[in-house]
Amino acid sequence: MISSKAQIAVIEDDSALRELLVEELETEGYIVSAYPSVEEYQSERPPVDVIVSDIRLPGSSGLSLLEHVNEAGAPALILITAFATVDQAVDALKQGAADFLTKPLDVEHLLLSVQRVLEHRLLKQELTRFKSQQKGPAGLIGQSPAMRKLYHQIERLGTAGGSVLITGESGTGKELVARAIHELSDRRDKPFQAVNCAGIPSELMESEFFGHTQGAFTGAQGKRLGLFKQVDGGTLLLDEIGEMPLALQAKLLRVLQEGTLRAVGSDEEEQVDVRIIAATHQNLEQRVRDGEFREDLFYRLETFSVKVPALRQRGEDVERLAHHFISVYAEKAGKRITDIDTDALDVLYRYRFPGNVRELQNAIERAVTFAQSHHLQVDDLPERMLEVRDPTADTQPHWHTLQAHQDAYIQDVMDHVGGNKKKAAEILGITRRTLYRWLDGQTDQSES
């Protein structure tokens, strides 16, 4: 199947060898084009999957093709030379060459190399396609049961039209959820604006939200539109709404109920059409009981509510997110980091992530920065993830390994379900394959 579709370019100035390579590759079913120099290949630039090129050529060296091999969609490059050194081969492979072969050329070896390179290329394409399918609305990543439930809620809230309250721990991605709701609504072509209520001084908050007239207060040298008017017709995310002063909460409630506002210093009511999405990591019901949040505003916002799950509740989404962040930060750093070692991944699974997705993102960014290989290693991760303190210790501090905590937790779950691995995997939010791997790890350690 690969042979029937793959296109190969051969760049070789030795006509006899060039014809031999074309014949052998075409016999394998490949579509082959041949060129005596890099310049002639570049003048045509046919869409090919693999380039097989000699290094020593008239004009540009085959090594010049390395400048483009890391570009998106670029063909893989197999280099051939009669004058190879170990350093030269290593350097070419570091720069992105798929393989490095020496003359006299073993044709069977070349054909195996081409097949291997094409299979690897196909695997990368499938992996890219697979990863793209792991994204939910607005680029949210994850396919755990908790996230699939969230996606369903987002789709329903997108068309609901009313105000929305998003709750969840810090770092779970509440703003991304708000953007997803906006993008699925009939306001998607209108502005979306996020504002952190905790980041605005209380004395400026009313003007920031509702605007002011010229001379409304000292320093108000001109009329200013507030955030509500700036996003008229769109969606306004009020992040950390629990930090909004009570006086301003009353004005917000009026906007929600009447669709009108009054700028600071103005006597006129203005119509405004804004969908409010509020977000908080706080317990608003408790703040209502403490007299720090208006009960009527809470119930107005809480009509449509959604809770974003913590990362520790999302099972194998940890791996999906880790791969996503590796791709993002490796590209930014110009590094060829493609994966994460099993041991490092196990550390991520065991860690509780109090900072949720944001903490994982920062950890992967750090790991990519310090990584010395094409795979992230355990030592690349922050030290806090490698050890956790025993929460039951009340005298001399004692530290247990993450492995010990994981083993104890898994055993508790297994006991609870009477050893039923399928049920245990569902509770843990992982696949049975991962559970078997963890259980095998327990056995190996107990026998050592």
What pLDDT score does 404 carry? 63
What pLDDT score does 442 carry? 53
Q: Are 163 and 256 in contact (CB under 8 A)?
A: yes
Q: The domain 399-447 belongs to what CATH superfamily?
A: Homeodomain-like (1.10.10.60)
List, as one string, the DSSP characters of 139-208: G-B--SHHHHHHHHHHHHHHHH-S-EEEE--TTS-HHHHHHHHHHTSTTTTS-EEEEEGGGS-HHHHHHH
Residue 413 confidence class, pLDDT cut points 50, 70, 90 = confident
Which bin fits 254, alpha (ψ -120 to 50), beta or left (φ > 0)?
Answer: alpha
Place of tokens 């403490």: 290
What does the mean pLDDT of the chain come to? 84
| Cα 226 versus chain centre, distance | 33
Residue scoring higher pLDDT (343 or 444): 343
What pLDDT score does 392 carry? 40
User: CA geometry: angle at 170 spanning 166 and 175, to 5°?
Assistant: 45
In angstroms, the CA 239 to CA 315 distance is: 27
Q: Do domains 7-132 and 150-307 have the same CATH topology?
A: yes
The pTM assigned to this predicted structure is 0.60
Identity of the amino acid at 234: G
Spell out the domain ranges in the chain.
7-132, 150-307, 312-385, 399-447
CATH code of 150-307, in short, is: 3.40.50.300
Give the class (CATH, top level) of 7-132.
alpha beta
Q: Are 158 and 277 in contact (CB under 8 A)?
A: no
Q: 412 — phi, psi (to 5°)?
A: -60, -45
What are the tens digits of pLDDT across the range 202-240?
Answer: 778 888 888 877 656 666 665 778 899 999 999 999 999
Percent of the chain with pLDDT over 90: 49
**The two structure tokens encoding residue 98:** 């798929």
Residue 149 confidence class, pLDDT cut points 50, 70, 90 = very high
- The DSSP bridge partners found for residue 193 are 236
Residue 270, CB-side half-sphere exposure with 13 Å CA sphere: 20
Place of tokens 């006086």: 247
Residue 2: is its pLDDT beyond 50? Answer: no
What pLDDT score does 277 carry? 97
What pLDDT score does 389 carry? 37
152 by Cβ neighbours in 10 Å (0-12 / 13-18 / 19+) ranks as exposed
What pLDDT score does 397 carry? 40
What are the tens digits of pLDDT across the range 22-32?
Answer: 999 999 999 99
Q: Are 248 and 206 in contact (CB under 8 A)?
A: yes
Q: Are 404 and 442 in contact (CB under 8 A)?
A: no
What pLDDT score does 394 carry? 39
What pLDDT score does 291 carry? 94
End-to-end CA distance of the chain: 46
State which CATH number among 3.40.50.720, 1.10.8.60, 1.10.760.10, 3.40.640.10 fits the domain covering 312-385. Answer: 1.10.8.60
**The two structure tokens encoding residue 366:** 């750090």
Q: Are 49 and 31 in contact (CB under 8 A)?
A: no
**Beta sheet of 7-11, edge-to-edge order:** 31-35, 7-11, 50-54, 76-81, 99-102
* DSSP E strand boundaries for 281-407: 305-307, 339-340, 375-376, 387-389, 399-401
| Cα 332 versus chain centre, distance | 13
In angstroms, the CA 196 to CA 237 distance is: 8
In angstroms, the CA 137 to CA 127 distance is: 20
What is each CA distance from 384 to 304, 323, 348, 388, in whole angstroms? 38, 20, 11, 7
What pLDDT score does 72 carry? 63
What pLDDT score does 381 carry? 94
In angstroms, the CA 86 to CA 83 distance is: 10
What are the tens digits of pLDDT across the range 96-138?
Answer: 899 999 888 899 999 999 999 998 887 776 666 555 555 677 6
In angstroms, the CA 258 to CA 292 distance is: 23
What are the tens digits of pLDDT across the range 262-283?
Answer: 887 787 888 999 999 999 999 9
Residue 249 confidence class, pLDDT cut points 50, 70, 90 = very high
CB atoms within 10 A of CB 180: 22
- The closest of 314, 48, 27 to 35, measured between CA atoms, is 48
DSSP assignment, residue 212? Answer: B
* DSSP E strand boundaries for 267-385: 270-271, 275-280, 305-307, 339-340, 375-376
